[in-house]
Structure 1
Amino acid sequence: MITTHMNGYVQEGTAQAASHRERAVDCPGDESCLVKPVHCSAQMERIQHYQDELRKRREEDSRGKHDIDPNASLRLRKLAQNPKVGVDNPTFEGKEHTTKDAITDLEELLQAIKWVQQYLSDARSHQDAELLIQLLANDDFKCAYSIYTVVSQKMNRVNPTSPLTAQAQELCLEVQKILQSSQQKEGLELRALLTNPHLQALMQAHDSLAVQEMAEDNVIQYLGKTVKMVRLHKTRDTPLGATVRNDMDSVMVSRVVKGGTAEHSGLLNEGDEILEINGISLRGKHVNEVHDLLQQMHGTLTFLLIPSSQIKSAPHRQTVMHVRADFDYDPSDDPFVPCRELGLSFQKGDILHVISQDDPNWWQAYRDGDEENQLLAGLIPGKCFQQQRETLKRTTPDRSREQQGKRWYVKKNKQQKKKSTSLCKNAESEDVLTYEEMSLYHQPANRKRPIALIAPTNSGHDELRRRLLVVEPNKFAVAVPHTTRSARIHERNGREYHFVNRQSFEDDLSAGKFIESGEYGKNLYGTSTDSVRHVVNSGRICLLCLHTRSLKVLRSSNLKPFVIFIAPPSQERLRTLLATEGKTPKPEDLMEVIEKAREMEQDFGHVFDATIVNAEPNEAFFELRRLIEKLDTEPQWVPTSWLC
């Protein structure tokens, strides 16, 4: 894919703002938001003529083909020159001619010796000449001399100092297609050779080295500047993966997208100026013209480039960072995304594989599970960039927020990275939710993760917990709470409650040892992290029903909880479920439950590991058990900070 955009970003109060963005060629885009290109009929006619010529050549080449068309490729033409030679005994052009020359040389030498023999006076010399004549006339000697001549000339031949092509794999595929219908012995033998995995690996290695070597060899002078020639292959299934922008009359490479041919080849770099593509000059062309031009081009594209003058840092190994998104993102609603077609949409809680942070404002990433279907990486807002604009939204009046945001964005891109880092730190202090780094974690068999059920009142999460405790009492348990009230006759310390005095409770509360706490009847109650840890150490699963305000303490501990949100059903269904329990809530009470659930999901949805809608209690119960059992069989994403 080649994408195009103007140099700059959305600017305040300009009708041309829509053109100041990158445009995707291989992705379907929103054509209505783009400036219409300036049509160049002569240029388009040249391209059309070029395409017509290629089509005519292909049609002519395809006429009159038999099992093996000797004119289909250079290799087959060479084989056709000597059809008696099989694949395992390859020859090279001119061998027959070389053999005849060797026999002629022997005949001339034989005649010369016979002529000299006439002038020899002594018998010994006559005898030696006769031996030479017999040797030169011997058929075995003639054959040996012919072989010697061919081999010596072949060994003395000068090998090419650079590869002749970087498309050896394509040539092999071309020959294989031609041989598909062949039943000749030579054709079957050649097809078996070309499909051999070792030969295919050799061709792949050859092309990889050839691309690099040809790129170095193709550095020449053009208009007084050093330029290089790069060849890349563009197909409908394999996008190129690069973006370009206008800089005055020049067309510059703006971004290399991970996953494309350009990134794999390493031949295109940010800041390179593209002078020509397949001999067509790009100087003075609008980016939309470049878009239309490249849409019609397929196959091998030859780029004439002025290499970037930027100092390239030493190559380093790209590491993938896995993050969980703490906000929803839709690139179609983002006026600042450089290329809307490359923008990657995601929802709160999605896992993203960030594979490039070269541009601190716009990272390149894949959604978890989409790597096979998503050829090119998508663009997502960088962490610092997202924090800064979210902070700006909180501090800017609504009526001027959009205009202030545009002015800030233009100004921000002119600042140094040092200032950007400082702003990022300031934004973090505002507790703006962006991304959280994640890692895969598989719970040990003897240390189960606590299950925290989060839900508004009357959503049924207490009932789900009670059913789990009844069905499998040896697998599930609850944490013994603390209280400041006195123990009753049937109660035992450490079984129903941990009975402590008020001062001790308040000291532990100040020390952050309680996940949740409250006061009822002038007595304090709470669940401590130590109580939960005691259940975990026993090998059982601790079940917790918590308020959302308790999540911060629970997640900051080393307990690694698995948080499940129990969402209420529709208002009518909720009324029916509560009626089975003998409850008759008012309509406003039902609406309050649903609104509270929406608030919970809005404010804390990014930390929910799963959500269950409790519309059918039995189905919700079986789904809850399935999620808990999955923790034993599948690794789960957890914050990387938990594993440090």
Structure 2
Amino acid sequence: MTTSHLNGHVAGEGGGAADEELRGAQQHREMAIDCPGELGSRTLPVRRSAQLERIRQQQEDLRRRREEEGRQLDLNASLRLRKLAQNSQIGIDNPSFLQDQQIPPQLVASGQHALPELQELLLSLKQVQGCLSDQQSQNDIELVLALLNKSDFQSALKIHNAVAASMHRPSPPFPHTQQALPLAMEVRQLTQSCHSKEGLELNALLSDIQIQSLLLTHDSVAEREMQLEPLPVPGETLAQWGGETVKIVRIEKAPDVPLGATVRNEMENVVISRIVRGGAAERSGLLSEGDEILEINGIEIRGKDVNQVFDILADMHGLLTFVLIPSGQIRPPPVKETVIHVKAHFDYDPSDDPYVPCRELGLSFQKGDILHIISQSDPNWWQAYRDGDEDNQPLAGLVPGKSFQQQREAMKQTIEEDKEPEKSGKLWCAKKNKRKRKKLLYNTHRNEDPDHEDILTYEEMALYHQPANRKRPIALIGPNGCGQVELRQRLLRSQPDRFSGAAQHTTRSRRDGEQSGRDYIFVSRQSFEAELAMGKLIESVESEKNLYGTSTDSVRQVINTGKICVLCLHAQGLKVLRSSDLKPYIIFIAPPSQERLRALLAKDNKNPKPEELRDVIEKAREMEQSCGHLFDAIIVNTDLDKSFHELLRLIDKLDTEPQWVPCSWLR
């Protein structure tokens, strides 16, 4: 067997079993036997096997041979053709001949001169000749014109048209009716009262027992000839095949609907490995994982590798007939799986993944993409669609399952830890902690592991439409100098009735003219530290021995007034804000290129050094790497005015369109 699945758990402290499993997974290979171009073409070009081409050539030769047999004419025995050859004007001038030959009416209009098609061709050649400046090309046109004007050529063309018109009759003849005898008896009854010589003669002929027997025989033959051969219909039947019980499965597959199945080789056998959602196989319910394919549309499959099967099925459409040896497993009743929606917290490229079972069906995605998981029957490889791509993605794609992704990322981290040089003075402690770490990472009950959140995989999401009287707070995040502070101030100044900031807690003394609750919320240091310990402060900072911080209660007070609370946060405050019940909308303000960033800062009379600009861009990259999975949107601030209008557009969209939020927010 050339394929093997990567198990859903890893055992052992040192991960020996897991290492072996991962090594085995590199041998894993399934082939999508009928994969659409937008999935398959990313990695493998569509190929055509020599065997398939031979089959097509044989079918084409057979069709051509049958046409030639049905259309063979003996030119010497055809009186009409000899007559045409002797008199080239017959096919054009003689109306009775035209009627006999069934020549199309458009040929009659040519009169005694060239046919309309020929006249049109001659006129076109004359026009082309007038446009040519090359003498050689003009000479070539003259030769063609001389040929077309020859009487022999025009006579041959007339004969060709007459023959072509006469070839429309069906061959061999097909019976027009299977009721010849009843019709004859009806005519005979009508002629009984006829006194003309012809009527009496016809009545005598139809009364003859031999004529009646002939018509009865005709009707019997015509009944069989006119009976339509029943077309095979999609479905499943059982039959005997070389002493084995096989099932014959017929599946109707339209050109725009992929079959949606993968196969693998087990020695010389070709076995169905996976049924993919969205394909004809899944819709029919007739193919099962583990079935061995013996034949497809009369082509033997056993002994072929998966690439040859791919080639054979590349362009097959219509009714596909599979001869299968059923798998020994009892097919469970179909279960309708619940679709779950997840937000990806990591980037995935199947072309770089040695463990994906079928690279042609691997679904690439980026951090922040919404995936609709429609099948988790294989816990290691889920079947999914990207949000917004359902219409353009005919088949579900394969993405790593959550536990599988956690396990291999844990193993990757452990391998990287093993490669790190052990620091002096911490040798015994490092080994002890590493052993404990491995036990946690390889625990199959991942939900009980407090460290599993360190490995980012997926977050289950649901659609949420904010109420009109309870707006989501807007959190702007980005490195210093990227413009998030300026954008917040613009929002607050532009629409003060709509946007508001949250009053900060502070331990400093109140100054003249300041009002508690409006400018700041003045608290004691002890009270501030108590709220910080209880997790009520989204973030805090110390400046000149005074503490400042924004509490969730302050944000909630703004929301209760019906306004939109606008915050500028550091990365550390995102997790606290997101774990609250405030349902924030987080927008990352990213820096543009280094030169563009310099120009933006120059407007504020700032002249940063090149290393300072590089530092801003590097901090933005680190911020996106560490907490980019928490962002709802990203604005690259190339121009402050454009960024402000884009920010307003995103905020307005919250009122008109539902947004994906973590399911935990709605429970």
Secondary structure of the residue aligned to 2:513 is coil
| CA contact 2:465–2:657 (8 Å) conserved in 1 | yes
1:7 alignment partner in structure 2:
3
1:369 equivalenced with 2:392 (yes/no): no
1:243 equivalenced with 2:262 (yes/no): yes
1:53 equivalenced with 2:59 (yes/no): no
Cα 1:519–1:60 change in 2 (3 A) is farther
Structure 2 matches for 1:13-52, cutoff 5 A?
20-27=29-36, 29=40, 45-46=54-55, 48-50=57-59, 52=61
1:331 alignment partner in structure 2:
350
**Aligned equivalents of 1:367 and 1:614: distance in 2?**
27
Give 2:58's aligned amino acid.
Answer: H
1:294 equivalenced with 2:313 (yes/no): yes
Cα 1:375–1:567 change in 2 (3 A) is same
Secondary structure of the residue aligned to 1:295 is coil
Secondary structure of the residue aligned to 2:598 is helix
Structure 2 matches for 1:497-508, cutoff 5 A?
497-508=520-531
1:632 equivalenced with 2:621 (yes/no): no
1:462 alignment partner in structure 2:
485
Cα 1:566–1:369 change in 2 (3 A) is same
Structure 2 matches for 1:530-545, cutoff 5 A?
530-545=553-568
Cα 1:13–1:515 change in 2 (3 A) is closer
2:13 alignment partner in structure 1:
none
Cα 1:46–1:619 change in 2 (3 A) is closer
Give 2:337's aligned amino acid.
Answer: Q
Please give the per-residue CA displacement for 1:431-479, whole angstroms capped at 9, x wherever unaligned: 2111111111111111111000001111111111111111100000011
Secondary structure of the residue aligned to 2:359 is coil
- Report the Cα offset of residue 314 of structure 1: 2.7
Give 2:261's aligned amino acid.
Answer: A
Cα 1:20–1:425 change in 2 (3 A) is farther
Match of 1:283 among 302, 316, 322: 302
**Aligned equivalents of 1:461 and 1:263: distance in 2?**
50
From the CA coordinates, give the structure whose radius of gyration is larger.
2
| CA contact 1:452–1:544 (8 Å) conserved in 2 | yes
Structure 2 matches for 1:393-432, cutoff 5 A?
393-397=412-416, 421-422=444-445, 426=449, 429=452, 431-432=454-455
For structure 1, which runs of at least 5 residues remain unmatched after alignment? Answer: 83-93, 105-162, 167-209, 402-418
Secondary structure of the residue aligned to 2:454 is coil
For structure 2, which runs of at least 5 residues remain unmatched after alignment? Answer: 7-19, 73-162, 189-228, 421-441
Give 1:255's aligned amino acid.
Answer: R
Give 1:8's aligned amino acid.
Answer: S
| CA contact 1:323–1:354 (8 Å) conserved in 2 | yes
1:549 alignment partner in structure 2:
572
Alpha-carbon RMSD across the aligned residues, in angstroms, is: 4.0
Please give the per-residue CA displacement for 1:43-83, whole angstroms capped at 9, x wherever unaligned: 864564245436777999999999xx9989xxxx8xx846x
| CA contact 2:406–2:452 (8 Å) conserved in 1 | no
Cα 1:65–1:548 change in 2 (3 A) is farther
Give 2:353's aligned amino acid.
Answer: D
**Aligned equivalents of 1:242 and 1:343: distance in 2?**
13
* TM-score, normalised by the number of residues in structure 2: 0.68
- Report the Cα offset of residue 103 of structure 1: 12
2:191 alignment partner in structure 1:
none
Cα 1:102–1:599 change in 2 (3 A) is same
1:610 alignment partner in structure 2:
633
1:148 alignment partner in structure 2:
none
**Aligned equivalents of 2:483 and 2:358: distance in 1?**
45
- Report the Cα offset of residue 15 of structure 1: 13
Secondary structure of the residue aligned to 1:396 is helix
Please give the per-residue CA displacement for 1:188-231, whole angstroms capped at 9, x wherever unaligned: xxxxxxxxxxxxxxxxxxxxxx63xx41xx11233343321111
1:567 alignment partner in structure 2:
590
- Report the Cα offset of residue 603 of structure 1: 1.4
Match of 1:527 among 525, 543, 550: 550
1:351 equivalenced with 2:370 (yes/no): yes
Match of 1:496 among 505, 519, 531: 519
**Aligned equivalents of 1:342 and 1:231: distance in 2?**
24
| CA contact 1:388–1:427 (8 Å) conserved in 2 | no
1:482 equivalenced with 2:505 (yes/no): yes
Please give the per-residue CA displacement for 1:242-275, whole angstroms capped at 9, x wherever unaligned: 1111112211110111111111111111111111
**Aligned equivalents of 1:533 and 1:621: distance in 2?**
25
1:263 equivalenced with 2:282 (yes/no): yes
Query: Equivalent pairs: percent with the same residue?
Result: 57
**Aligned equivalents of 1:61 and 1:438: distance in 2?**
66
* TM-score, normalised by the number of residues in structure 1: 0.70
| CA contact 2:506–2:522 (8 Å) conserved in 1 | yes
| CA contact 1:451–1:563 (8 Å) conserved in 2 | yes
- Report the Cα offset of residue 102 of structure 1: 12
| CA contact 2:370–2:386 (8 Å) conserved in 1 | yes
Cα 1:306–1:468 change in 2 (3 A) is same
1:513 equivalenced with 2:536 (yes/no): yes
Please give the per-residue CA displacement for 1:123-164, whole angstroms capped at 9, x wherever unaligned: xxxxxxxxxxxxxxxxxxxxxxxxxxxxxxxxxxxxxxxx95
| CA contact 1:9–1:20 (8 Å) conserved in 2 | no
2:409 alignment partner in structure 1:
390
- Report the Cα offset of residue 430 of structure 1: 5.2
Cα 1:233–1:527 change in 2 (3 A) is same
| CA contact 2:260–2:278 (8 Å) conserved in 1 | yes
- Report the Cα offset of residue 502 of structure 1: 1.8
- Report the Cα offset of residue 596 of structure 1: 0.5
- Report the Cα offset of residue 96 of structure 1: 6.8
Please give the per-residue CA displacement for 1:572-611, whole angstroms capped at 9, x wherever unaligned: 2222222221222222221111110111111111111111
| CA contact 1:384–1:427 (8 Å) conserved in 2 | no
- Report the Cα offset of residue 520 of structure 1: 1.8
| CA contact 2:4–2:27 (8 Å) conserved in 1 | no
1:577 equivalenced with 2:600 (yes/no): yes
Structure 2 matches for 1:580-591, cutoff 5 A?
580-591=603-614
Cα 1:343–1:453 change in 2 (3 A) is same
Aligned residues: 503
Cα 1:446–1:71 change in 2 (3 A) is farther
Please give the per-residue CA displacement for 1:82-116, whole angstroms capped at 9, x wherever unaligned: 6xxxxxxxxxxx56767989999xxxxxxxxxxxx
- Report the Cα offset of residue 521 of structure 1: 2.0
**Aligned equivalents of 1:544 and 1:387: distance in 2?**
33
**Aligned equivalents of 1:62 and 1:423: distance in 2?**
75
2:472 alignment partner in structure 1:
449
Cα 1:363–1:420 change in 2 (3 A) is farther
Secondary structure of the residue aligned to 1:341 is helix
Secondary structure of the residue aligned to 2:596 is helix
**Aligned equivalents of 2:509 and 2:25: distance in 1?**
75
Secondary structure of the residue aligned to 2:360 is coil
1:642 equivalenced with 2:659 (yes/no): no
1:437 equivalenced with 2:460 (yes/no): yes
Secondary structure of the residue aligned to 2:565 is strand
